[in-house]
Chains A and B, each alone.
Chain A
């Protein structure tokens, strides 16, 4: 390696590390604040990671601010959405992929793609009025039911993957007398496990981080999700940034753990979605 290209490498590493610090620093800062006693957050110069560490901030947020309950609520909603999302998107995607000789089914798919252009701002209020009319406000129904009817972006991704699988499995099994439902569930679906995992993970993220829907529909405090509780806490814990940061840290940790174990699925899914255009 020549001298200049060695120098380039060093410069490159320095830049990479600086960017990495920029990306991580706010989280480290939040962790530091979350371990402080009260009244230290805006001290100059900053008092970061200095004992005594106030682990009690975490017990405060979990019990006094009821975050244990909100975690449970969020997990429940997330699980219901993940189950619904995996089954419905896989089933619908299979229909669109393997019955594309039907003009009607193809047209339906194209209509579905067009709905992506309708901004959610336009759907938010009419949807709320409908849920209010059927008396489903302050329940988890508005947050979960739609997951059982497919979402076009996941359908698109899954359809693409089924399309890449040969039709011959279908035909062979069909001649042997298997019904199409069995063929989908037992033959095709296991073959696209990686993309199903990606969809599951993305739904997990989406629901875990979701604020808009809980904010619209949930009013009773005991039904709050973590994100809703986090949004409300700046009012509840005024002047206690360390409590708020403890909340932020425990909200982020599950996401980071899932992300670390499933980095490939995440990034793979993103890149696969990029072929759309």
Chain B
């Protein structure tokens, strides 16, 4: 093979080096420094040592934001992954209309979150929203949904929205993986007399496990980052602080608390890192690679 001039290679990637410096290294280093200071963006940062980190683990509001974030992951992720597996299996057949259905299931995925939240807040309206009218027909409710004063009710309602919005996208990933599964395995299972449910749990799920693993990882990090839905919901009146919205309001409150906001960022980074390592360890036990 011809030896290529490395100088050209570095030239090609040079924008990325600049980008890493400006949009990654500088903010990472400065935020590490700020996390040990008290800084309101007006007067100079004042060194306070570990105070911000102690606050992160003791301040009830922050702990509540962490609890809500974790609870949301638990309420949302397993159900969404399960439903998208079912959907992917259902979509994995030779029917003419499949492309049409697949296209429709993807519409919520591409729709802007801001608009989607506006619509769902109407559906969830406690006074005459469609959901309450529907449950009212059976003599149930009225419920308060995202306006409830119980945090777990709000979490479930937001999780329902997110599952509705995301299931089409996860199903597409899984469908791509399914199409790589060989028919022979199913035929062998048929001969052994395995039923539909057995086939789903004993063959399909294990064959999909690498993709499921990938989705769990990205969705989990994504949930810690998800800002827009919670910000929009809070703005509409749902009382559910999560990490991302807490950080935002700490930095943009009446006095900016950059120190605490950056400390939460670092703690979250460590949590996500630990979860990633734990999942990688667990991967060896439950993910099946051909």
Contact = CB atoms under 8 A, between A and B. Distances in A.
A223 interface: no
B70 to A, nearest CB: 14
A16, A175, A270 — which one has the most chain B CB atoms within 10 A of its CB?
A: A16
A111 B20 contact: yes
A256 B151 CA distance: 34
Contact of B228 (A123, A212, A277): A212
B261 A211 contact: no
Contacts of B104: 20, 23-24
A154 to B, nearest CB: 11
A244 B122 CA distance: 10
B4 to A, nearest CB: 6
Interface stretch (A60-68, A144-152, A192-200): A144-152
B65 to A, nearest CB: 11
B236 interface: yes
A19 B22 contact: no
Interface residues of B, number: 97
Given A29-B119, A119-B221, A180 B114 contact: no
A125 B251 contact: yes
Contacts, number: 283
Contacts of A99: 4, 6, 8-10, 12-13
A121 B222 CA distance: 10
A118 interface: yes
B169 interface: yes
Interface string A91-105: 110111011011011
> On chain A, which size bracket covers the interface?
35 or more
Interface of B: 1-6, 8-13, 15-20, 22-24, 26-28, 30-31, 34, 41, 87, 90, 97, 101-108, 110-116, 118-123, 125, 127-130, 133, 136, 164, 168-169, 172-173, 175-177, 210-211, 213-214, 217, 221, 224-225, 227-228, 231-232, 235-236, 243-244, 247-248, 251, 258, 261-262, 264-266, 268-269, 272-273, 276
Interface of A: 12, 15-16, 19-20, 22-24, 26-27, 29-30, 33, 41-46, 88, 91-92, 94-96, 98-99, 101-102, 104-105, 108, 111-112, 115, 117-130, 132, 146, 148-150, 155, 167, 170-171, 174-175, 179-181, 184, 205, 208-209, 211-212, 215-216, 227, 230-231, 233-235, 241, 244-245, 247-249, 251-252, 255-256, 259-260, 263, 266-267, 270-271, 274, 276-277
